[in-house]
Amino acid sequence: MSSQTGNSANAYLRTKVMTASPEELRLMLLDGAIKFARQGREGMEQKDYEASFNGLSQCRNIVLELITTIRPEFDPELSERVQSLYTFMYQELVEASFEKQPERIGRVIELLEYERETWVMLMERLARERQPDGAPPVAIAGQVTGEGSSLQIEA
């Protein structure tokens, strides 16, 4: 990637993040966690431990961010459950990395993909609830590249 292309991509990403709603930011985090977990698993399977370390480190950082941004004041019981799930994922990533077990990373990816699908459905529901009566439906579409996971939901 040329310096010019890299700068353009960074500027685009920066703008996208700065203008995103909290719901969209969380979706971006989930997309990033899935992407990096896949990179980490692929690196481990290919015995490219530097790529595995980099991907899993990035994924763990994102999962940690997901844990710390949960706001329990809205629903303490649900918040505790979600926090426990993310904590489990974090531990699985750490142990999979130490024990060189890509299948454990695969289980984390499945959980992250399920969480992503659930989050997109919630975003869609919120978009419908926020719509004025008679307004055309808002579509939320997302796609995580690689491993065939794609999700598009339209109202």
- Region 129-145: mean pLDDT is 62
Q: Is the pLDDT of residue 15 over 90?
A: no
Rounded to the nearest angstrom, the gap between the alpha carbon of residue 8 and the centroid of all alpha carbons in its chain is 23
Q: What is the pLDDT of residue 145?
A: 43
Q: pLDDT tens digits for 20-75?
A: 888 999 999 999 999 999 999 999 999 999 999 999 999 999 999 999 999 899 89
Amino acid at 59: C
Q: What is the pLDDT of residue 150?
A: 38
**Domains of the chain by start residue, with CATH:** 3-119 (1.20.120.340)
CA terminus-to-terminus distance, the chain: 37
Q: Report the predicted TM-score, pTM, of the whole model to 2 decimal places.
A: 0.78
Is 117 within 8 Å of 124 (Cβ atoms)? Answer: no
Indicate the angle between helix axes 76-99 and 102-130, nearest 10 degrees: 150
Q: Is the pLDDT of residue 126 over 70?
A: yes
3-class secondary structure, 92: helix
